[in-house]
Amino acid sequence: MAYELIGKLVAKYDTVQRTETFKTREFVVEKTDDIGGRVISNYIKFQCVQDRTSLPDRFNLGDDVKVSFNLKGTKWMRDGRENYITNLDAWRLEPAGSLQGGGFAPQQGVDAPPPPFVPDTVPSDGDDLPF
């Protein structure tokens, strides 16, 4: 399932060559919400892999961006214990521009529900039933 998040780019890190054939790069987006008059900021760290490690290059710190990403999870054993890690794998990074609302929402696709129905016109007699 793919997700999107809109926020401000606050950190970009160097590309790290993990193995001879695998590289990653991380960046952080600040997502701010006004909840009941109280401003709450969250800092979300994303990961780019392989040919996507150049995604943050065209953006400056402080830019509003829209990140498209997938949730990835890995399980491994160490010292007889199960360990888990979750990554937010970014696959697209674009200017937020005039996008409104921000947030964290599934993208439209196979796993996402269709958008809500919005009629082209509103009945003038106050009856909002479509039949």
Domain annotation for the chain: domains and CATH numbers = 2-97 (2.40.50.140)
- Model pLDDT, residue 114: 46
Residue 28, pLDDT > 70, answer yes
Residue 86, pLDDT > 60, answer yes
Q: Contact 53/25 with Cβ under 8 angstroms?
A: yes
Global pTM value: 0.69
**CA pair distance 64, 111, nearest whole angstrom:** 27
Read off the pLDDT band of 2 (50, 70, 90): confident
Residue 102, pLDDT > 50, answer no
Q: Average pLDDT of the chain? A: 81
- Model pLDDT, residue 98: 53
- Model pLDDT, residue 115: 47
**CA pair distance 120, 73, nearest whole angstrom:** 42
